[in-house]
Homo-oligomer: A and B are copies of this chain.
Amino acid sequence: MGITERKKRDFEHREQVILGASLNLFDCDEWLSVTVDQIADAAEIGKGTIYKHFSSKEEIYAKLTLDFYYGLLEQLERIDQNRSSISILGDIFKVALHYHLSQPEFRRVTQYCKRIDFKKNHSEEICNAFEKLDSRFRNLVGDILSTGMEKNEIPRTNVRQLYYCMKTCFDGSVDTVWTGYSGLEKVDIDEYIKIITQFMVAGVLGLGDLENNQIAKVYLN
């Protein structure tokens, strides 16, 4: 039924309107005290309607964050894989960090939803969505690392462990650019992206080699 289809589209469109209005209102440091009434006003709908789309205010946060990460993973998965693993890893960092910088209005919500306890207080559906995102990222990076080791571009080592190092560096750098963006600390962001990418590369290349070279000796003295 075409008409049913359109109604469905309308309904989904309205969801986007709510999310858009929310995001607008959330782009300030007091975003946590934005009320559902305010969101309803901004979206030009009744308050009750919001609860037809989201089971709670927090679910709006979650959906915004999920959408943000869908966009990120789409870009990351589109990165050309036919180059050296190191180049690809470098691009992942660059693409991801620029993606974050290009949508700074998401930084507060996203950080809020990253909290360990946040996800645990939500529906199965939301949890699964976050879980799926994690595994998409894990697979993407994991494959690059494995391939890199096979092609001897990356020193052989435990992929799982190397992945967690990458992830650590990745999460940390996202945090840093967004903190930098907020002006809490002045960082020249473009320079930073270049440097942290190099740092990550040095870590990936150096980690597996560590047992065999002088680094270990200095370190373990």
Q: Which residues of A contact B (CB under 8 A)?
A: 29-32, 83-84, 86-87, 90, 107-108, 111-112, 115-117, 119-121, 134, 153, 158, 161-162, 164-165, 167-173, 175-176, 178-179, 182, 184-185, 187, 191-192, 195-196, 198-207, 209-210, 215, 218-219, 221
Contact = CB atoms under 8 A, between A and B. Distances in A.
**Residue with the greatest number of chain B CB neighbours at <10 A, chosen from A32, A115, A168:** A168
A32 B108 CA distance: 17
A217 to B, nearest CB: 10
A103 to B, nearest CB: 15
Contact of A182 (B29, B116, B221): B116
28 contacts: A29-B120, A30-B121, A84-B218, A84-B221, A86-B215, A86-B218, A87-B219, A108-B116, A116-B179, A117-B182, A119-B184, A153-B218, A161-B192, A162-B195, A167-B172, A167-B176, A168-B176, A169-B203, A172-B172, A172-B173, A198-B219, A199-B207, A200-B203, A201-B210, A201-B215, A202-B203, A205-B215, A206-B206
B195 A206 contact: no
Contacts of A210: 198, 201-202
A84 B220 CA distance: 10
A33 B116 CA distance: 15
A170 B200 CA distance: 13
B121 A116 contact: no
A161 B117 CA distance: 32
B29 A117 contact: yes
